[in-house]
Structure formats: C-alpha cells, structure tokens
Structure 1
Amino acid sequence: MKTLLTLSAFAGGLLLIACNKDDNDNLSPDEKILSSKVWKIQSLTTKSTVNPEQDSSIMKDCINAATIHLYTGMSFDLKDNSTAGCDSTVFGFDKGTWSFNETTDSLYLDGTKRDVAMKVSTLADTMVVATYRDNVSPTNNRVKTITLKKK
C-alpha cells in the first residue's frame, strides 16, 4: 500500500512539473528581451517639417506616463497611464497581439484599433529604438522613431 501511495505521489508531482511549463521557453532570445519587462516611452520623434535632416520631438507630457507591455503569451498592452488622459493622435494606445521577425528585425503589433509594423534598429536589455509609419491619422501619415526604456 505504501508503494502504491508513494508511486501516486511521485506521478502527481511529475504531472504538476510537466504542466508548469514557462511560456518563455518557446520564445527567441529577442522575444525574451522584449517580453521580460515593461517598457516606458523615452522619446517619440519625426522628421522636422522645417529641416527634414533633423528630428523633431512630438512627445507630449502625458506620454511620459505611457507604458508598453509585451507579454510572453504574445499579447500586448499600450497603456495611457496619465491621470487626465493623453491625446491619442500623437501615439495610438491599443491592445492586441504582437510578434517579432528576427530576419527583418520587425516588431508587429496587431491591435484592436490599428496595426503597426516597426523596424527595430536597437534591441538591448534596457532600450529599444524602432521606426514606423504612423497610421493614426490618414492626413498626417509620417515616419516616427520611438525609443523605449526599461521601466
């Protein structure tokens, strides 16, 4: 009887270990970097209309509170954490699913409101820099550069 009880306990323990698989195991190294933390927007720029050789900041104070969380389950949440709400024509807050293509260094956000494809130029443990064509406003469709830092 003791042997049967011991075998049952051992089998139950193995079952629990097998079911406790980390979502992180299936992610690439770059996806692990992206999903291992909450990101904060450090800067948001576009080419200056006066001098296209220079970048111009389009950050609003309220965007400083915004966060981007890329979850290991491949969902994302771009949150407006400001107290009064932030103008979403500068940066589109959304949620949905995400993916990363290591061949093209592209981060894709498939949101409920809009889709965004970003070309990642810097991917490090503490910072991500990417460019994307903004589709928030059909009349103001510009290339923007976003810099994210670890929160």
Structure 2
Amino acid sequence: MKVLSALAMVVLGSGLFFACSKNDEQPDTTPAVIVKLTKSNWKINSITRPKLGSPAGDSVISKACTSDDLIQVSIQGTYVFSDSTSKCDSTVFPYSKGSWKYDLTKDSLQLTTATTPAKNYKWKVLTLNDSVMKVQYIDSTVLTDKFTKTISFKH
C-alpha cells in the first residue's frame, strides 16, 4: 500500500509541476521577408540604370569603390550603410544610417535618414531571398534628371 501511495504522490506531484510550468515561448510571427532582410549584412553587387537610347538595357554605374559597401538592416528597425575600406564619394549614397520599415503590401523598404533634416527613400524590392536582394528606386538627387536605379546586393 505504501508503494501505491508513493507512486500516486509522484504522479500527482509531476502532474502539478508540468501544469504549473510556464511556457514563455511565443510563436515567432515575424514575416519571412523581414527575417531574410535582417538575417545578415548585404554587400553591393552592382548598381545599374537604364541605358541611354536603349531603355530595355541597363548600364552599370557602380564604381569600384562600392564593391565592398554593406548595408546592415537590424530587426530593431535601424540600418547602417558602411562605405567599407574603399571610400566613395558621398553622393553615391547620401545617407549612412537611420531607421527603416517594410511595406508588405507594396514590397518596399522605406529608409529614413538620421540626418537633419531627415530624408526618406523608398526602395521597391524586386528580389529578396537567402542570398540576393535586388531593389529599385527613383534617384531624384538632381531634380532635372530623375532616373531609376537598380541595386543588387548579395550575402
């Protein structure tokens, strides 16, 4: 009888232990696109714009100094653009850090600079997978010469 009572106490005690244990883990509801975007740094692979006289073609306009530039997009909502060891003219990317948000309905990454005054940039995301990100935006740094740029990044 003592063995049966001891066994009942063990079963009852372990049932109470598991019933009272806390399950702090919440399911991760972060959209897959955000996980891919923030997973690691993105290195510039190329920058292009439509070829003059042949808009269906692209002209590569990346400079050698951009080949080691990185953008790090953090899950906390900030980004840092690093002009790595090969320094470029700051007009290539007139922003280096700030905040971001992702518009899931329009597949666009919206960057807001930490400069004063803050500037907003909207990148249309054409491709985003585990190894490649390709974005397109209208460059309007020279108001009389607005054109579309495409930036390809890789891990």
Between the aligned partners of 1:92 and 1:141, the Cα distance in structure 2 is 16
Which residue number in structure 2 is paired with residue 10 of structure 1?
Answer: none
Between the aligned partners of 1:64 and 1:116, the Cα distance in structure 2 is 21
How many residues get paired?
131
Which residue number in structure 2 is paired with residue 101 of structure 1?
Answer: 103
Between the aligned partners of 2:89 and 2:50, the Cα distance in structure 1 is 20
Who wins on radius of gyration, i.e. which is larger? 2
Identical aligned pairs, as a percentage?
Answer: 32
Confirm or deny: 8 A CA contact 2:95 2:113 kept in the other structure: no
Corresponding residue SS for 2:84: coil
Distance 1:121 1:79, change over 3 A: same
Which residue, out of 117, 123, 129, partners 2:128?
123
Which residue, out of 81, 84, 87, partners 2:84?
81
Confirm or deny: 8 A CA contact 1:42 1:64 kept in the other structure: yes
State TM-score, norm by structure 1: 0.76
Which residue number in structure 2 is paired with residue 5 of structure 1?
Answer: none
Moved over 6 A (4+): none
Corresponding residue SS for 1:96: strand
Query: Runs of 5+ in structure 2 lacking a partner?
Result: 1-20
Distance 1:62 1:44, change over 3 A: same
CA shift, 1:50, in A, is: 3.4
State TM-score, norm by structure 2: 0.75
Which residue number in structure 1 is paired with residue 154 of structure 2?
Answer: 149
